[in-house]
Structure 1
Amino acid sequence: MLEQINVDYFILLTALLLIIGVLTTKFSTRLGVPALVLFLLVGMIMGSDGLGLIHFNNPKLAQLIGILALVVILFEGGLQTKWSSVRAVATPSLSLATLGVLLTTVVVAVAAKLIFDISWLEGLLFGAIVGSTDAAAIFAVLKGQNIRDRLSSTLEAESGTNDPMAVFLTLSLIELMTIESPFYYLLVGSFIWQMGMGLFLGFLFGRFAGYAINKINLDSSGLYPIFALAFALLTYIFQT
Structure 2
Amino acid sequence: MIQEILESNQFIMLVALLLIISIVVTKFSTRLGVPSLVLFIAVGMIVGSDGLGLLYFDNPEVAQLVGVFALIVILFEGGMQTKWNDIRSVIGPSVTLATVGVVLTTAIVAVAAKFFLGITWLEALLVGSIIGSTDAAAVFAVLKGKNIRGKLEATLEAESGTNDPMAVFLTIAFIQLLTVSDLNLWGMIGSFFWQMGAGLVVGAGVGYLASYSLNRINLDSSGLYPLFALGFAFL
Q: What is the match of residue 147 of structure 2?
A: 146
User: How far, CA to CA, are the matches of 1:89 and 1:48 in structure 2?
Assistant: 43
AA in 2 matched with 1:26: K
Q: What is the match of residue 211 of structure 2?
A: 210
Aligned residues between the structures: 234
User: How far, CA to CA, are the matches of 2:57 and 2:134 in structure 1?
Assistant: 23
Does 1:118 pair with 2:119? Answer: yes
- Percentage of matched positions with identical amino acids: 63
Residue-by-residue CA offset, 1:78-117 (whole Å, 9 max, x unaligned): 1011111111111111111000000011111222222233
Q: What is the match of residue 184 of structure 1?
A: 185
Q: What is the match of residue 45 of structure 1?
A: 46
Q: What is the match of residue 4 of structure 2?
A: 3
Cα distance, 1:170–1:224 mapped onto 2, change above 3 Å: same
Does 1:220 pair with 2:217? Answer: no
Q: What is the match of residue 230 of structure 2?
A: 229
User: How far, CA to CA, are the matches of 2:12 and 2:49 in structure 1?
Assistant: 19
Q: What is the match of residue 128 of structure 2?
A: 127
AA in 1 matched with 2:92: T
Structure 1 gap ranges (5+): 235-240
Q: What is the match of residue 59 of structure 1?
A: 60
User: How far, CA to CA, are the matches of 1:79 and 1:231 in structure 2?
Assistant: 12
Cα distance, 1:32–1:111 mapped onto 2, change above 3 Å: closer
Residue-by-residue CA offset, 1:162-212 (whole Å, 9 max, x unaligned): 000000111111222222222222122112111111111111111111111
Q: What is the match of residue 90 of structure 1?
A: 91
Q: Within 5 A, what are the aligned runs for 1:21-32?
A: 21-32=22-33
Distance apart, 1:132 and its partner CA: 0.7
Cα distance, 1:17–1:149 mapped onto 2, change above 3 Å: farther
Q: What is the match of residue 109 of structure 1?
A: 110
AA in 2 matched with 1:193: W
Distance apart, 1:50 and its partner CA: 2.3
Cα distance, 1:120–1:30 mapped onto 2, change above 3 Å: closer
User: How far, CA to CA, are the matches of 2:95 and 2:25 in structure 1?
Assistant: 32
The alignment's C-alpha RMSD in Å is 1.4
User: How far, CA to CA, are the matches of 1:75 and 1:47 in structure 2?
Assistant: 28
User: How far, CA to CA, are the matches of 1:170 and 1:152 in structure 2?
Assistant: 27
User: How far, CA to CA, are the matches of 1:19 and 1:31 in structure 2?
Assistant: 19
Distance apart, 1:34 and its partner CA: 1.4
AA in 1 matched with 2:73: V
User: How far, CA to CA, are the matches of 2:150 and 2:48 in structure 1?
Assistant: 37
Distance apart, 1:37 and its partner CA: 1.7
AA in 1 matched with 2:167: A
Distance apart, 1:31 and its partner CA: 4.2
AA in 1 matched with 2:171: T
Bigger Cα displacement from structure 2, 93-102 vs 42-51: 42-51
Cα distance, 1:31–1:105 mapped onto 2, change above 3 Å: closer
Q: TM-score, normalised by structure 2?
A: 0.94
User: How far, CA to CA, are the matches of 2:148 and 2:104 in structure 1?
Assistant: 25
Does 1:81 pair with 2:117? Answer: no
